[in-house]
Amino acid sequence: MHQYQNLFKNKFLFNQLNRNLYTAIFSSGILFNSVYAQQNDIEEIDSKSTSTAQEVIQLDAVNVIATIKKNTIASGTLGSRSDLETPFSSQHVDAKQIEQSQAKTIGKLFEGDASIESKGSSYGLDAYSISVRGLNLDFVNGYKIDGHPFQMYGVELPLELFEQVQVLKGATGFLYGIGSPGGTVNYISKKPTSSPKASLSVGYSSDDLFSQHADIGGHFDEAHKYGYRFNLVNEQGRAFNGTKVDRQAASLYLTAQLSPKLDIYANGFYQKRNLNGGISTISIANSGNYAYSGTTLPKAISGRKDLTAYDSSYYDSIAWGAATGLNWQFNDQWSLHGSYSHTLKQIDSRDETLYLRNSQGDYNLALRQFYRPTLAYDSVQLRLEGMFNTGWLKHQLIAGIDWQRQTRDLNIGNPNLNPATNTGGQNYVYPGTGTYPAGNLYDSSLNLIYGGYAPREYFRISNWNTKSAYISDTLSVNDAWSVLLGLRKFDYENSNYYVSGRLRSHYQQNPVSPTVALLWHPQAQTTVYASYVEALEDGGTVGSTYTNAYQQLDPVKSKQYELGIKTEQKNWSLASALFRIERGTGYANAQNQYVVDGIAQYDGLEFNGQFKATDFLRLNASGVWINAEYTKAADDILGKQPTAVARFQGSFGFEKDFRTVEGLTVHGNIKYIGKQYINNANTLHTSSYQVVNLGAIYRQNLGQHQLIYRAEINNLFDQDYWIASTNALQIGAPRTLSLNLQYDF
């Protein structure tokens, strides 16, 4: 507990806002305790508590859940549908759950869903990364903000700014366009509230991180025609692995109802996130003369281990976005939705990579510097939704067009390379002797100094444009049976450039992505479905270690077949799916050319269930079994298992209210991750592990206001574990304590 001894030192009061906020909240708590001690009318207190509990139950059962399901794929090509109307698996987390878990990374949000696995550790470069059904999401196209694309690599979006985070599992080519067949994450921005809202919160996370968050919303006028929602976040301090964190974020969402049938909106967000030290990545890939020689992996090290060798290492990022749009409800049957979004991500970094050499933990260390690699997205969406009948046949028609433009800038790289052919980004620094310094995972970190210089210039490395048009029709004869038919046509153009500006490669493709699904509703609360959908993902650029280095690969097609059931009953619910994903994949052939003509097949069964055991106890369980193998590939990997896929993953959790202590709720979760190979030869694998989390929430009513205490312990038993990636490892987070105090005005 030594890391918690300095919890309430004065240094956390590092600015006047923080001092005022803590004083106000703690004063409110003292005032309430005084009033409560003098309160003799116990029946009045019980009455108020019962009334409040009823309001919470009504909100969870009606407003929150219904809204979430209505928006499950609200920005996709299926329009606004409830989860029961959607023939695909999905998962969502709302703002209350985000606050309850005190999550700072997306992986923490979905710890209750076994098929969603975090592939990064908090306050690292891969904190954003998750896999779904054993497939890593595409960080270029797999993440959306209100349905529009945002490039996530190296950036963790500020969860405090969002009302929901939704995961649509599986192939989403028809629904969202180009992206990984693993799925799509959609961040839903916080919008104006129907009644005035204001909350302030302060938080602490071990070892030395403090945060503040303000959330204010409502309407400017009594008629509720003009709404606003404003969020402001600050986080500073030092994390458990020695990383110094300095993060600020803000968002604003404005709405205007121009008429009963037409409303418009504009919103934006900004985040500056600076990390200093503690950001090493561990790789087993070959680098120069350094190759991994072991037959097993080293024993996992503690997440508290600070492997930073250079005091000057850092990873600074800026992300911002702005969007505007309209919703026009012509009548009860027809509506039009249009929107435009611009997002930008910019990185300036000098980070370290550890290249493992053997199972004893020996490594060599490289320093890499990037100067302001930038990726910008412009996105326009227009969608028409309508319902009509042709005789006895009912139609739910959706048609639309999308346009996206992505521009990517990268640093110049090594200035000694020929500028006519240099592709950029090869800016590895070899300090001192010109070789990688050596160290060991179990020894103290290296103490190195880099006084060199890397070019702080960048160039336009790629432009690509995607235009698509789609149409879908859900045909139904009655309330029990319906058929979904959909088709999306793409025009995909990609151009890549040398540092000199000379065109390196260009291609244009016109793929088609169809979907078809059959839905059966044996009762209003149950859906049985069978669906087929395809995914399209960018083929990417071949790496520098292959003989066809820097070649641009064509888009890769994947197919998904899914049979599922969803039901929501009074005291329990269940969502289960049997799926097969046939993913186009690449590999190195005998000539060391990287080619994309293989197929990796993922066969799986997943389930998520919730059970209300009593009025005070809720249980949830989740599991996924995946059998994955290369069914078409080079002989040396044919029949092998793809990297970073566990045969089984499971999760079990509970939430318990206490009658004897009004307002107290305790929750917990255990998640199991099976062993995973990290190389295509299937000779190296991580060990299975399980992580236990435990938390508590206590709510105190202050008249019309509320004071909320939260405590969360992640990795309760301080398990050491590796997180598996392809040819790389991340260090699992250690036991951490998080505390939060929130006052709702």
pLDDT tens column, 541-563 = 776 667 887 677 777 888 999 99
CB 627 within 8 A of CB 669: no
Strand duo 664-673 + 648-657: pairing: antiparallel
711 bridge partner residues: 696, 739
CB 223 within 8 A of CB 1: no
Token pair listed for 513: 């992505």
Burial (Cβ within 10 Å: 0-12, 13-18, ≥19) of residue 502: exposed
CA nearest neighbour of 585 among 550, 557, 604: 557
Please tell me which of 282-291, 362-371, 450-459 the model is most confident about, judged by mean pLDDT. 362-371
CB 515 within 8 A of CB 174: yes
Q: How confident is the model at residue 287 (pLDDT cuts 50, 70, 90)?
A: low
Distance CA 531, CA 396 (A): 17
Cis preceding-peptide flag for 207 (omega within 30 of 0): yes
Decide: helix, strand or coil at residue 54: helix
310 bridge partner residues: 448
Q: What is the pLDDT of residues 29-78, one digit of tens each?
A: 333 333 333 333 333 333 333 333 333 333 333 333 333 333 455 446 77
* pLDDT at position 39: 37
What values do phi and psi take at 134, rounded to 5? 85, 5
Q: How confident is the model at residue 9 (pLDDT cuts 50, 70, 90)?
A: very low
Return the DSSP state at 622. Answer: E
Range from 6-10, 233-237, 591-595, 692-696 carrying the lowest mean pLDDT: 6-10
The 3-state DSSP composition of the chain as helix, strand, coil percent (nearest 5) reads 10, 55, 35
DSSP string, 354-388: EEE-STT-EEEEEEEEE---EEEEEEEEEEEEEEE
Distance CA 493, CA 150 (A): 19
What values do phi and psi take at 633, rounded to 5? -175, -175
What is the number of other CB atoms lying within 10 angstroms of the CB of residue 9? 9
CB 412 within 8 A of CB 455: yes
Distance CA 263, CA 710 (A): 37
Q: What is the pLDDT of residues 455-497, one digit of tens each?
A: 678 889 899 899 999 999 999 989 899 999 999 998 989 898 8
**Residue whose token pair is 């069964």:** 605
Q: How confident is the model at residue 255 (pLDDT cuts 50, 70, 90)?
A: very high
Q: Which residues contact 34 (CB under 8 A, 6 or more apart)?
A: none
Mean pLDDT for 501-524 is 90
Residue type at 671 in one-letter notation: K
Please tell me which of 267-281, 406-420, 563-577 the model is most confident about, judged by mean pLDDT. 563-577
The share of the chain scoring above pLDDT 70, in percent, equals: 85
Residue type at 218 in one-letter notation: G
**pTM beyond 0.85:** yes
| pLDDT top residue among 269 and 106 | 269
Burial 301-316 (b: 16+ CB within 10 A, else e): bebbbbbbbbeebbbb
Range from 16-25, 364-373, 441-450 carrying the lowest mean pLDDT: 16-25
CA nearest neighbour of 640 among 695, 681, 603: 681
Burial (Cβ within 10 Å: 0-12, 13-18, ≥19) of residue 700: middle
Would you give the end-to-end CA distance of the chain in angstroms? 34
Token pair listed for 165: 């985070």
Q: How confident is the model at residue 454 (pLDDT cuts 50, 70, 90)?
A: low
Distance CA 743, CA 745 (A): 6
CATH number of the domain at 2-40+71-744, please?
Answer: 2.40.170.20
342 bridge partner residues: 322, 378
Q: Is the confidence at residue 139, as pLDDT, over 70?
A: yes
Q: What is the pLDDT of residues 313-331, one digit of tens each?
A: 999 999 999 999 999 999 9
Q: Is the confidence at residue 16, as pLDDT, over 50?
A: no
Q: Is the confidence at residue 17, as pLDDT, over 50?
A: no
Strand duo 281-283 + 334-356: pairing: parallel
Alpha-carbon separation of residue 677 from 181, 290, 360, 684, 725 (angstroms): 20, 21, 19, 6, 8
Q: What is the pLDDT of residues 508-518, one digit of tens each?
A: 888 888 899 99
Distance CA 558, CA 585 (A): 9
As a whole number, the mean pLDDT across the chain is: 85
Decide: helix, strand or coil at residue 31: helix
CB 650 within 8 A of CB 111: no
Residue 274: half-sphere exposure toward Cβ, Cα within 13 Å: 9
* pLDDT at position 631: 94
DSSP string, 420-460: TT--S---EE--TTSS--EEETTSPPP-B---------EEE
Residue type at 387 in one-letter notation: M
